[in-house]
Structure 1
Amino acid sequence: MAICNANPEIWRQLQPRQKDEIYDVSLRILREIGVRVGSASARKRLGSNGARVCGEVVYITDEMVSSALKTSPSVFKIYRTTGEEAMLLDGRSVYFGSGTDSVKYLDPFNGGITPCNRESVLVMSMLTEMLPNIDFIDAVGMISDIDTRLGSRFAFSIALANTTKVLNFCADTAESYKDIIQLAADFSGGSENLKKKPFLFGYSEPVSPLFHSGDGCDKLDVCARAGVPVVYMPYCMRGGTAPITFGGAMVQSMAEILSGLVIHQSCVPGAPFIMGCMPSVFDMKTTVGAYGAAEFHHGVLVSSEMADYFGLPFYGTGGTTDAGTLDFQAGAESMMCFMSSMAGKINFVHDVGTLCHNVVLSPEFLVMCNDMIDNLRIFKQKINFNYEDYRFELIRETGPSGHYLTHDDTLTNFKKIKYSKFFTRDVSYETPNNMAEKLRKETQKLIKNFVPPSYSEAQIEAIKSAEKCWRKSAS
């Protein structure tokens, strides 16, 4: 269930002049430095549209960027698998997403960390379906108990069978993209039905600095031709794959995004495009790209302002941490990134429920994040008091040194306050919270009580048929 941003101006970081300057420097990068494009067909299209092509390096004109920004839709909808509207991407609503799989999985029943497998995908799909504040799921495909060539496709099909919520897919190759979209079309009753009511969106990315791989370009093309929305999201590390300065990382990322948009729109003008950006830091102590760093989430917030400036929906990150276990650090970092994600014009917040810089999926962490998101809704509410809300006569009636504890107004309304299942407000400091135990029990309860979606026989057969076909092709 989306959180509507009633007051998106609260945490604005950039002045109009700064946005203009970032855009201008990004355009200069594209004009004078260029980007490397690994796809011959994309280079050919770009050359036909006015770019200068020198081998694999393409120099893109300001006019090409301006044209792509004009044709890319600013507002569009994504649907549930059952056909109901799920998302209105208008720059005001925020949607949160979990993942099906990562490299490792923290088992909520025995506490062990194991490689992700099909059972992990199933559990994360179940929880996504049941948790009211989780709106979509990322199907990635790092599954250890199946042929690696099939991982991304099976991550998608298992998720599709077990949740009616929006699916974000990220596959290994453009061919896998085609197979996933074909399954979605068969599930929807045809390609035209899927175009009218897409329930999925893709994910592709450049390789920083300034390289659009052939496969990355092909993934953009596949989604554009199918009418399926797609995220294009650079993940750079300041001091590693981007300049160490915040400004340098920003203009490089914007150049990568805008050139990706030009490639996408040159394939099918008007195809739905979602801007993403992960300008993180390269931790020189550990050599990781930090997911919990304040600089990272500040960069995501600022990037969302540039997306608003460009008139593009934005895909951000939150509910994640560099902590390896569900501990104090995980709670602090996830709350920080939730707050920064909700402060800007961010449409999607992905990676919710991931530990150790997105290496470990934790169902219990996802359940905790669902509760945290519920608490944070109050910060998005519009304050619109009417005179009755001030309770002037009630204050007069109670008078100095009185109390409101037994008044009918209190008894009628006190349950409107949020009471968490997991966060305690016990009077005694000697009473242990045992939050970890509460989360484990709630997670286990949700998994055990899961009821799969009621899909038609034709839809179930579409999933089974696709999986059978994929297995056959791999053998």
Structure 2
Amino acid sequence: MSMLSVTPSLNLLNKDQIERIHHDSLEILATTGIRVDSPKAVALFKKFSCRVENKSQVFPEKELIEWAIKKAPSSVDIYSRTGQKSFTLGPGITKEQQNQTRFGIGVTNLHYQDPITDKTTPFTLDHMEIATRLGDALEEFDVISTPGIARDLPPESADLHAGLAMMANTKKPLVLLVSESNCFEPLLEMFETLHGELNKKPFVIPYFNPITPLVINQETSDKIMATAIRGMPFIYNNYGMSGATAPITPGATLTLLNAELLAGILFSQIVKEKTPVIAGSLPAGFDMKKMMSLYTPHTMLINLGCAEMMHHYGIPHSGTSGSGPGWGPDLLAGNCFWMNHLTSIMGKVGLCPFVGGNFDSMAFSPGAVVYANEVIRMSRIFAAGFSIDNKDVPLDEIKSIGSAGNFLMAPSTGKRFREFRLESPIWESLTLDEWQEKEMPKSGKILRKYTDDLIKKALPPDDHDEIMEKGRLFITGRF
């Protein structure tokens, strides 16, 4: 990147503040500790000389945490299903690759919102295919995260069918959330059967949550062990609600969540050294009146602070995605999208995997996904900045046109005017008169129709039928 490139950036924490959060996080782990529910996981912590009380309360020491931070890879390459490198996450990459936040649709919604009416219905396997193809068609989305839970299938096999539908309907990388714990390893085995090894060019990224505050539950530790043994990268995200599962103040929430992430990074490395882990937080507030989570400017700041802590540690980051408050592809959703996506791209956020959920991520909205795609596109243009080198500041041309002239016919205008036109693929540019002549069209209605048309045109990859047939045979053999 040229020294004469002007690019906006956003920094939250200074060096002293980072050190304070790190120090206090280590203090939490050394004095309060973290509850570990799996006896096998506790045994691993003991093997690495961690003090254990009451059979499950583990107290990691500073030196061991710092060892784990050094062992964890500082970058991870993510590939498409067909083996092409899609992107790299982590601070241990080139300057040109840094601050390129990646986005994904999702996540595990129970309902599906009709793209035209916003009416909700229970999420089904057909919706899984629709959502995956939509995410595949939208250029600004880099990954497909599990968009919903297929409620038209028995729980014991729903995750296998869902994972198969995702794999068959896109070649983009997949962020995998598994609701039924007994399905996790069979799902990885199915991917291995259909694709081969998952560690050399990983296109499947399992996603795990500990329990806040300060618990590594058995399901999470079991899944981490199954993933790390295979040499696969995984996402370790905690979810804390300030005033409920986390302290009420943003600073205390950030510190507690950071302590939990350090414990997870440590566990990944004692399971297997050099395991790639992508860590981060999904911070939220808690609405005492409605008894539900909410997203505020403060929770977005915590997200940025967490990204900076992971950058400081040299750990690839995954954070919150600006979804939740919308009722559809509306002003409520757009407000949060803009606050999250623009600040993420300008900050140090690595991955925003869960875009498109409304009503506290209960309903998957195709319209919201399409609108977010436009927000991401605009945010990336903004964050790209501009140049002030000689070819971009033509002093001779300015001199020749002089005072009171115009640049309509200037050589640089004729050569480059197309670069600076900002045309939306969704909405045409209208004057007031044109808008009135068209009987005052509503922007939301246009967005909904555009989304519906995009869904109808979105086709599966050419190997869709082959993958579905082989996958169904695998599932039939299991159930």
User: Scaled by the length of structure 1, what TM-score is found?
Assistant: 0.92
Deviation at 1:326, TM superposition (A): 2.5
Deviation at 1:441, TM superposition (A): 2.2
Is contact 2:125-2:150 (8 Å) kept? yes
Aligned mates of 2:278, 2:130 — CA distance in 1: 28
Is contact 2:107-2:355 (8 Å) kept? no
- Deviation track 1:13-35 (CA, whole Å, cap 9, x = no partner) reads 11111111111111111111111
Aligned mates of 2:50, 2:108 — CA distance in 1: 39
1:116-135 map, 5 Å? 116-135=123-142
1:1-20 map, 5 Å? 10-20=9-19
Deviation at 1:426, TM superposition (A): 2.7
Q: Which residue type is aligned with residue 430 of structure 2?
A: D
Q: Which runs of 5+ in 1 are unaligned?
A: 1-5
SS of equivalent to 1:420: coil
Aligned mates of 1:381, 1:135 — CA distance in 2: 18
Is contact 1:141-1:152 (8 Å) kept? no
Deviation at 1:131, TM superposition (A): 0.6
**Match in the other structure for 1:47:** 46
CA 1:457 to 1:236, structure 2 compared with 1: closer, same or farther past 3 Å? closer
1:307 maps to 2:306: no
Aligned mates of 1:416, 1:137 — CA distance in 2: 30
**Match in the other structure for 1:259:** 263
- Deviation track 1:174-224 (CA, whole Å, cap 9, x = no partner) reads 432212211221222x33xx2111101011111111111111111111111
Q: Which residue type is aligned with residue 311 of structure 1?
A: G
1:168 maps to 2:172: no
CA 1:456 to 1:206, structure 2 compared with 1: closer, same or farther past 3 Å? closer
Aligned mates of 2:141, 2:147 — CA distance in 1: 17
**Match in the other structure for 2:285:** 281
SS of equivalent to 2:391: helix
1:59 maps to 2:67: no
SS of equivalent to 1:27: helix
Aligned mates of 1:327, 1:309 — CA distance in 2: 36
Q: Which residue type is aligned with residue 352 of structure 1?
A: V
Aligned mates of 1:199, 1:448 — CA distance in 2: 26
SS of equivalent to 1:231: strand
- Higher deviation after alignment, 120-129 or 343-352: 343-352
1:370 maps to 2:373: yes
Is contact 1:100-1:121 (8 Å) kept? no
Is contact 1:77-1:85 (8 Å) kept? yes
Deviation at 1:459, TM superposition (A): 4.4
Aligned mates of 1:359, 1:441 — CA distance in 2: 23
- Deviation track 1:353-383 (CA, whole Å, cap 9, x = no partner) reads 2212211111111111111111111232254
Aligned mates of 1:87, 1:187 — CA distance in 2: 23
- Deviation track 1:102-144 (CA, whole Å, cap 9, x = no partner) reads 0111111454211111111111101111111011111165221
Q: Which residue type is aligned with residue 469 of structure 1?
A: G
Aligned mates of 1:254, 1:442 — CA distance in 2: 41
1:139 maps to 2:146: yes
CA 1:402 to 1:321, structure 2 compared with 1: closer, same or farther past 3 Å? farther
Is contact 2:132-2:147 (8 Å) kept? no
**Match in the other structure for 1:3:** none
Q: Which residue type is aligned with residue 148 of structure 1?
A: P
SS of equivalent to 1:18: helix
Aligned mates of 2:423, 2:22 — CA distance in 1: 45
Is contact 1:140-1:171 (8 Å) kept? no
Aligned mates of 2:62, 2:128 — CA distance in 1: 43
1:239-258 map, 5 Å? 239-258=243-262
> Identity of paired residues, percent?
27
SS of equivalent to 1:45: helix
1:453 maps to 2:452: no
Match of 2:397 among 384, 394, 398: 394
Q: Which runs of 5+ in 2 are unaligned?
A: 92-97
Is contact 1:140-1:152 (8 Å) kept? no
Aligned mates of 1:448, 1:19 — CA distance in 2: 48
1:158 maps to 2:134: no
Deviation at 1:391, TM superposition (A): 2.3
1:221 maps to 2:233: no
1:185 maps to 2:192: yes
Aligned mates of 1:269, 1:221 — CA distance in 2: 12
1:349 maps to 2:352: yes
Deviation at 1:411, TM superposition (A): 3.7
Deviation at 1:460, TM superposition (A): 4.7
CA 1:210 to 1:319, structure 2 compared with 1: closer, same or farther past 3 Å? closer
Deviation at 1:423, TM superposition (A): 4.7
Aligned mates of 1:328, 1:82 — CA distance in 2: 38
Displaced runs of 4 or more, over 3 A: 6-9, 406-409, 422-425, 429-433, 456-462
- Aligned pairs, how many? 462
- Higher deviation after alignment, 116-125 or 440-449: 440-449
- Higher deviation after alignment, 376-385 or 116-125: 376-385
- Deviation track 1:12-65 (CA, whole Å, cap 9, x = no partner) reads 111111111111111111111111100110000101101111221111111221
Is contact 1:8-1:345 (8 Å) kept? no
CA 1:325 to 1:129, structure 2 compared with 1: closer, same or farther past 3 Å? closer
- Higher deviation after alignment, 95-104 or 6-15: 6-15
**Match in the other structure for 1:23:** 22
- Deviation track 1:133-168 (CA, whole Å, cap 9, x = no partner) reads 011111165221111222222221101100000100
Aligned mates of 2:193, 2:444 — CA distance in 1: 42
Q: Which residue type is aligned with residue 40 of structure 2?
A: S
Match of 2:113 among 101, 106, 110: 106
- Higher deviation after alignment, 234-243 or 398-407: 398-407
SS of equivalent to 1:150: helix
Is contact 1:19-1:306 (8 Å) kept? yes
Is contact 1:100-1:122 (8 Å) kept? no
SS of equivalent to 2:267: helix
User: Scaled by the length of structure 2, what TM-score is found?
Assistant: 0.91
SS of equivalent to 1:233: strand
CA 1:232 to 1:341, structure 2 compared with 1: closer, same or farther past 3 Å? same
**Match in the other structure for 1:380:** 383
**Match in the other structure for 1:86:** 86
Match of 2:335 among 332, 335, 345: 332
Q: Which residue type is aligned with residue 202 of structure 1?
A: P
Aligned mates of 1:70, 1:79 — CA distance in 2: 24
- Higher deviation after alignment, 222-231 or 138-147: 138-147
**Match in the other structure for 2:36:** 37
CA 1:209 to 1:261, structure 2 compared with 1: closer, same or farther past 3 Å? same
